Chain A
Amino acid sequence: NAGVTQTPKFRVLKTGQSMTLLCAQDMNHEYMYWYRQDPGMGLRLIHYSVGEGTTAKGEVPDGYNVSRLKKQNFLLGLESAAPSQTSVYFCASSYTVQGVGPSGSYNEQFFGPGTRLTVL
């Protein structure tokens, strides 16, 4: 049981290049998330998915696209990288205890090890 894995671990891009970050989870979680972490700013939600084939925008979606073609995978794409996208990217997944309701849902998020991306 690997939990949440992310590839690659590190990447350096030139401005304008594109890339895809891959997140995979083997816990059969419905929900998956992409965050970016910048110094002093905590974790900011980029996009998320509540199930296979569905995605939605988070707080900072501009410049990113996502896809969830399979339940276990959540891909984050940068079509034309910019220096402002230099960051550490974390993927996370979560489940919900059925029948409890939003205020009582036990919805711990499990994080991957992160991808450190530098855009020159």
Chain B
Amino acid sequence: GQQVMQIPQYQHVQEGEDFTTYCNSSTTLSNIQWYKQRPGGHPVFLIQLVKSGEVKKQKRLTFQFGEAKKNSSLHITATQTTDVGTYFCAGRNLDSSYKLIFGSGTRLLVRP
């Protein structure tokens, strides 16, 4: 079945350093979403990417969708302690408009 792999599993950075998490799908996706889960909380939607090669920015966060629509990345510039949490990508199949396949997540820890 379809798989969505996400790396790294953990990242521990000094506040002010950059952070990147990568997501790869075994199949071509119709779109991809990113979620953030704070410790002890629930996943919260960040963004959706639809077009091949799409790049979107939210303040210090930059999201990219690969040209082949099989990979994606989230880059955080100058991390802050408020960025702590687990970041998940979630891909949607070409033949399904409502099911998401979640990556295993990248847990970000930020040293103040």
Interface residues of A (CB under 8 A from B): 31, 35, 40-45, 48, 50, 58-59, 90, 92, 94, 96, 101-114
Contact = CB atoms under 8 A, between A and B. Distances in A.
Interface of B: 1, 6, 9, 30-31, 33, 35, 41-45, 48, 50, 88, 90, 92, 94-105
Nearest to B86: A42
Contact of A48 (B9, B99, B101): B99
Contacts, number: 68
Contact of A108 (B1, B45, B88, B99): B45
B99 A41 contact: no
A44 B48 contact: no
A102 B42 contact: no
A37 B31 CA distance: 22
B97 A112 contact: no
B100 A109 contact: yes
A107 B98 contact: yes
B96 to A, nearest CB: 7
Contacts of B102: 35, 42-44
